[in-house]
């Protein structure tokens, strides 16, 4: 895609100041594991001194192109095209293990990805049914839908989208693909809409199903589990992890991880050990942060965002 076309799509960075303020603990090495269009990175760079390092990671080729433009004008920026699940491998490559001052992750799909019909994320405009964060790797949504068993489709819709009519929708998808290949977003959206017996007219009936398929195609929850565990050896003592999630499955995983690391390993009852002797890896910093009414009014896509922050002990 050309730069001209990509410039058509704007992106409002969610919880911009809250996230950067929370992750910043002074000069050092930082990681933006979901660079996107660079909103968080640019603000963080304004806080960092000339000797700091900011590693920016993203799968999306367009995001990497934007990151490379930033790096060309700022020697502090190091660009890596990869998934954030590889954060430990990336940091090992640079020899920064245990030295990172902060990691920030924005788990949402960026507005340019949603608004660009050619990426296949949106049910509101027609485009090829792709949904891959990196369109050059992996299996597209169309390829998966063409071959997956009905039960597998139903399980994905229910597990990752909390779609209570998953079996009905899966059956409709399988029946429809027997007549014609399902290759575009509006094809799939119309099949789901027709199959869905009950839906809020303020919310498109394909919302949950598209979310579920996107999460599954990109392995998003598995990647989240990997980056959470990988953050521990990467961060230095006092280093912070700041994560913005956009749906309950992500937020639950982040919340449970922070709680587990803050509580320490579960001990057998009656074991003669004092609380001070329990090894704890992290502590939660404040409570979950939500966008203000003002931000939601300016950017409706921020309404479901939740920021959680933890500090390595």
Each residue of 289-311: pLDDT tens digit?
A: 999 999 999 998 899 999 999 99
Least confident of 22-26, 168-172, 194-198: 194-198
Q: How far is CA 49 from CA 26, 32, 44, 68, 119, in A?
A: 9, 16, 10, 20, 37
Chain segment 169-193, per-residue pLDDT in tens: 999 999 999 999 999 999 999 999 9
Task: Return the CATH class of domain 125-218.
Answer: mainly alpha
Domain spans in the chain, listed from the N-terminal domain onward: 3-112+220-312, 125-218
- Domain 3-112+220-312 is of which CATH architecture? 3-Layer(aba) Sandwich (3.40)
Q: Residue 121: which pLDDT band, with cuts at 50, 70 and 90?
A: confident
pLDDT of 156 over the 60 cut: yes
Distance CA 245, CA 288 (A): 11
- Give residue 230's Cα distance to chain centre: 15
DSSP-H helix ranges across the chain: 3-6, 16-23, 39-47, 61-72, 87-94, 111-115, 141-147, 150-161, 166-179, 185-195, 207-218, 220-234, 248-263, 293-298
pLDDT of 111 over the 70 cut: no
Q: Residue 155: which pLDDT band, with cuts at 50, 70 and 90?
A: very high
Residue 21: CB atoms within 10 A of its CB come to 14
Distance CA 52, CA 41 (A): 13
Q: Residue 279: which pLDDT band, with cuts at 50, 70 and 90?
A: confident
pLDDT of 249 over the 50 cut: yes
Distance CA 44, CA 54 (A): 9
Q: How far is CA 205 from CA 102, 124, 158, 287, 299, in A?
A: 39, 11, 14, 32, 22
DSSP letter (8 states) at residue 85: G
pLDDT of 200 over the 80 cut: no
Higher pLDDT, 95 or 108: 95
Distance CA 211, CA 221 (A): 12
Average pLDDT over residues 280-294: 96
- The 3-state DSSP class for residue 240 equals strand
- The 3-state DSSP class for residue 309 equals strand
């Amino acid at each position: 895609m050309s730069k001209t076309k990509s410039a058509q799509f704007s992106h409002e960075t969610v919880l911009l100041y809250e996230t950067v303020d929370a992750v910043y603990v002074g000069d050092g090495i930082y990681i933006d594991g979901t660079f996107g269009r660079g909103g968080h990175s640019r603000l963080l760079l304004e806080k960092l001194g000339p000797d700091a390092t900011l590693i920016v990671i993203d799968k999306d080729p367009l995001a990497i192109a934007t990151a490379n433009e930033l790096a060309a004008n700022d020697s502090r920026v190091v660009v890596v095209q990869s998934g954030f699940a590889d954060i430990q491998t990336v940091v090992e490559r640079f020899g920064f293990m245990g030295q990172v001052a902060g990691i920030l992750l924005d788990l949402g799909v960026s507005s340019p990805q949603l608004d660009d019909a050619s990426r296949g994320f949106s049910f509101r405009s027609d485009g090829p049914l792709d949904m891959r964060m990196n369109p050059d790797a992996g299996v597209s949504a169309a390829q998966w839908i063409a071959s997956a068993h009905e039960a597998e489709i139903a399980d994905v819709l229910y597990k990752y989208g909390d779609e209570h009519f998953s079996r009905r929708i899966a059956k409709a998808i399988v029946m429809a693909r027997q007549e014609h290949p399902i290759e575009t977003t509006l094809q799939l959206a119309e099949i789901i809409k027709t199959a869905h017996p009950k839906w809020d007219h303020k919310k498109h009936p394909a919302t949950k199903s598209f979310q579920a398929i996107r999460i599954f195609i990109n392995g998003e929850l598995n990647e989240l589990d990997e980056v959470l565990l990988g953050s521990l050896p990467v961060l230095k003592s006092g280093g912070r992890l700041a994560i913005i999630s956009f749906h309950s499955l992500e937020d639950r995983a982040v919340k449970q991880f922070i709680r587990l690391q803050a509580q320490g390993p579960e001990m057998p009852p009656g074991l003669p050990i004092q609380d001070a002797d329990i090894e704890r890896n992290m502590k939660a910093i404040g409570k979950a942060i939500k966008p203000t009414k003002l931000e939601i009014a300016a950017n409706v896509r921020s309404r479901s965002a939740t920021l959680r922050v933890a500090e390595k002990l």
